[in-house]
Amino acid sequence: MNKLSTALLMMMGLTIGGALAATDLTDGEIRKVDKDAGKLTIKHGAIKNLDMPGMTMVFEVKDKSLLDKAKAGDKVRFRAESENGKLLVTDIQKVK
C-alpha cells in the first residue's frame, strides 16, 4: 500500500470515528445545576452506551467547568460514562 492510500484510509477512519462519537451524545433537558455538589439533574432520552432507558436523574460531572455550560431549562446533548461505579457527564453541548 502506498503512502497516499494509507493517508486516505487514516483520514476516513478519523471521519467515521468522529461521526460515531457524535452519535454517542444523548438528548436531554437540564432540570437543575448544583455547582457546590458538582452535579446536574437531567431529563434524558435513552443513553445507548450505558444501555439505559430515558428518565430523569442526577449525574456527577467529570469536570466542574461543564457546570458553567448549562442552566435549568437548557436543551442539551451530552455524553455520560460509567467510571468506578459512578455515572459521570463527560461532555455537554447546548442545543441551539
Q: Is residue 53 part of a domain?
A: yes
Q: Is residue 18 part of a domain?
A: no
CA separation for the pair 47, 55 (Å, rounded): 10
Q: How many helices (H) and strands (E) does the chain have?
A: 1, 5
- What distance lies between CA 56 and its chain's CA centroid? 15
Residue 54 sits in a domain whose CATH number is 2.40.50.320
Q: Which residues of 37-46 are buried (b: 16+ CB within 10 A; e: fewer)?
A: ebbbbbebee
* Cα separations in angstroms, 52 against 2, 26, 63: 44, 11, 22
Q: Is residue 10 part of a domain?
A: no
Q: Is residue 29 part of a domain?
A: yes
Q: Give the tens place of pLDDT for each residue, 46-63.
A: 999 999 999 999 999 999
Per-residue confidence band for 24, with pLDDT thresholds at 50, 70 and 90:
confident
Domain region containing 63: 25-94
Q: Provide the mean pLDDT of the chain.
A: 85
19: pLDDT strictly greater than 70: no
14: pLDDT strictly greater than 70: no
Structural domains counted in the chain: 1
Q: Of all residues in the chain, what percent carry a pLDDT higher than 70?
A: 76
